[in-house]
Amino acid sequence: MRERVGYLPDIGEEIIETKILTFTRKGEVLEVEAPLLTMKQMQLVTEKVKTASSEVLKNMSITEIISIIDTAIEVLLDRHSTYRKKAEMLLPIVTGYDKEMIRLGLTSFLKKFRKHELQRFVVEDLGNPLLLDDFQPRVKRGYSKAVGPELILHVWAGNVPALPLWSLISGLLVKSGNIGKVSSAEPLFAGLFAQVLVEVAPQLKDCLAVVWWKGGDEAREKEIFRYSDVVVGYGSNTSLESMSRRIPVTTRFLPFGHKVSFGVISNAALDSRKALTTAHHAAFDIIQFDQQGCYSPHIFYVRKGGNVTPAEFAQYLAQELESYQKRYPRRTLTLEEMTAAVHWRNQEEVTSFSNPAKQVFGQTDHHWTVVYEEGAAFSPTCSNRTVKVIAFDEIEDILPSMLPYRKILQSAGIAAAPKELFRWAEKFGNIGVTRITALGKMTSPEAGWHHDGGFNLLDLVQMVDIEHSAEEYAEYFAAYVD
């Protein structure tokens, strides 16, 4: 099977070179053909996208843009549309994730970009959506308008499907030209979205591009970074750092590094009736995309004093993971990942010898590992359904071990009573956590969330002020002046 991915605006008669990326899953082979532009073609694309977006997108109202995105999302939510079918068929091969997991994941993700959610998205950041269309009066007098950059370059990473939509749609909402570089691990979905978008709104055909080059390609990146007003980068700190060295000081860089997340469970969620559901929710957060997301939990802190003890909860969690394995099996790991998993597991086993309170559940040939421990250090696992359950008495006991990692903390999934929720949220917020969410919802952030504590749109735009003085001054020069 061969599939051409990406999306290019009209740059005339050009021969586009492609790079073939091969994916195999359970005997199915998919060759993905990704556009690899020459420097000159890259320049043509950036110019085209800049011009078109300033002529077309910038002259559309935010309401129009939202409704176009909404229509495109409708198409992708429709299980009978060819695009959706293609995504459901090809994404499992590309990413290795289970088909059903992808299907459900896509739906729950795409739902967040429908009209009402998008409106919320805009209001969330700007208060008044019309700021994107026109100068709006301000309380302090004067007027302001939010102007998006001419060109945003997105450098995506990772294999979690559809994730590029967050930044791409944000870029569209601020009426910018957008060029996205897909990752080699999931080069498919961003281009697919672009194709749908242009099908429902042909006038946008030259306003965006989705391309590929090998991450870290210095010459290419240096060149294109020069043309971009904003670069939104995803990846490890090492790759972001090397990216930042190639970005000129006049280009704004918004780096999204890798992050680590965890869950916290109150004893209130551990009575005999609720504990099973709690474990079910926790297990879902682990199995969804095999913990590859920045929002995926690696540790569950479980408070002592419930009807179900933390150690028993670990056992519940192990059972839930085992039953999820039947419904949504883990993707096939590479030899490297398997070896890492086995070593991680073995090491946990070995350390449990000198620590009688520590327990390692499951066997090497299980597709998950749960470790129960008391007073353990805060540390990510090797992902792919490996998790630690750590017992605690008071929330204050676990905070110090997280403190050194404030730069890389992200989500905390919480199962607790309202009072506790707010008390804990306060504590976690102080040490660097930027998102508190329900257990079972860790892998699907709400529309308008502050990704890593930042703003989706506000960080992209530039505010233009008309000060009151200018307005007043202009009055002198009006034709109607007496």
Partner 1 sequence: MEQQQIINQLLTILQSDSLSNDEFNQNALQLFAYQFTNNLPYRKFCQQKGKTIRTVKSWKDIPAVPINAFKEVALTCTPPEEAERYFMTSGTTQGVKGKHYHPTLQVWNLSMKTYFKRRFMKETEKIRMGILFPTEEEMPNSSLARYLALAKQEFGTEESHYLLGDNGIDLERVIQELEQAEHSGEPFALLGASFSFVHLFEELAKIGRSFQLPAGSKILDTGGFKNQSKEWELDEFYHELSRVLGVPRKDCINMYGMTELSSQLYDAGNEQVPSIKSGPHWLKTRIIHPLTGEEVAEGERGVIVHCDLANYNSVSSILTEDLGMKVGEGFLLLGRVQGTEAKGCSIAVEEFIKAATEPTR
**x/- track of binding to partner 1 for residues 184-223 (CB under 8 A):** -x--------------------------------------
The number of residues that bind partner 1 (CB under 8 A) is 55
| 252 contributes a contact to partner 1 by CB under 8 A | no
For partner 1, the closer of residues 142 and 362 by Cβ is 362
| 26 contributes a contact to partner 1 by CB under 8 A | no
For partner 1, the closer of residues 180 and 293 by Cβ is 293
Q: How far apart are CA 18 and CA 443, in angstroms?
A: 33
| 234 contributes a contact to partner 1 by CB under 8 A | yes
| 238 contributes a contact to partner 1 by CB under 8 A | yes
For partner 1, the closer of residues 158 and 306 by Cβ is 158
| 335 contributes a contact to partner 1 by CB under 8 A | yes
Q: Taking the complex as a whole, how short is the minimal distance between the CB of residue 363 and partner 1, in angstroms?
A: 8
Residue 269: what are its φ and ψ, rounded to 5°?
A: -90, 10
Q: Which of 23-31, 143-151, 200-208, 348-356 is the region at the interface with partner 1 (rule: CB under 8 A)?
A: 348-356
For partner 1, the closer of residues 338 and 470 by Cβ is 338
| 33 contributes a contact to partner 1 by CB under 8 A | no
From the list 127, 137, 404, 454, which residue makes contact with partner 1 (rule: CB under 8 A)? Answer: 404
For partner 1, the closer of residues 279 and 360 by Cβ is 360
Q: How far apart are CA 121 and CA 448, in angstroms?
A: 4
Instruction: Tokens for 398, please give them.
Output: 């676990």
- DSSP secondary structure letter of residue 330: P
From the list 41, 159, 167, 315, which residue makes contact with partner 1 (rule: CB under 8 A)? Answer: 159
Q: What is the CA radius of gyration of the chain?
A: 24
| 354 contributes a contact to partner 1 by CB under 8 A | yes
- Report the DSSP beta bridge partners of residue 280: none
Secondary structure element (H or E) that encloses residue 411, with its range: strand 409-415
Q: Taking the complex as a whole, how short is the minimal distance between the CB of residue 161 and partner 1, in angstroms?
A: 10
| 360 contributes a contact to partner 1 by CB under 8 A | yes
- Report the DSSP beta bridge partners of residue 20: 33
Residue 299: how many CB atoms within 10 A of its CB? 25
Three-class SS of residue 435? strand
| 143 contributes a contact to partner 1 by CB under 8 A | no
Three-class SS of residue 16? coil
For partner 1, the closer of residues 96 and 448 by Cβ is 96
Instruction: Tokens for 384, please give them.
Output: 């792919």
From the list 41, 369, 383, 386, which residue makes contact with partner 1 (rule: CB under 8 A)? Answer: 383
Going by their DSSP bridges, the two strands 17-25 and 369-374 should be labelled as unpaired
Nearest Cα to Cα of residue 14 among 40, 46, 33, 50 = 40
Nearest Cα to Cα of residue 71 among 193, 167, 161 = 193
**At CB < 8 A and 24+ separation, what contacts does 277-282 make?**
278/313, 278/415, 278/439, 279/313, 279/316, 279/317, 279/319, 279/320, 280/320, 280/440, 281/415, 281/438, 281/439, 281/440, 282/317, 282/320, 282/413, 282/415, 282/439, 282/440
From the list 364, 430, 462, 469, which residue makes contact with partner 1 (rule: CB under 8 A)? Answer: 364
Q: Which of residues 81-120 bind partner 1 (CB under 8 A)?
A: 95
Burial of 277 (0-12, 13-18, 19+ CB in 10 A): middle
Q: Taking the complex as a whole, how short is the minimal distance between the CB of residue 405 and partner 1, in angstroms?
A: 6
| 311 contributes a contact to partner 1 by CB under 8 A | no
- Count of all residues that appear for the chain in the document: 482
From the list 256, 368, 392, 424, which residue makes contact with partner 1 (rule: CB under 8 A)? Answer: 256
| 322 contributes a contact to partner 1 by CB under 8 A | no
| 61 contributes a contact to partner 1 by CB under 8 A | no
| 405 contributes a contact to partner 1 by CB under 8 A | yes
What is the Cα 116 distance to its own chain's centre?
20
| 323 contributes a contact to partner 1 by CB under 8 A | no
Residues that bind partner 1 (CB under 8 A): 95, 157-160, 163, 185, 234-238, 256, 258-261, 289, 291-294, 296, 298, 334-343, 346-347, 349-354, 360, 363-365, 379-380, 382-383, 404-408
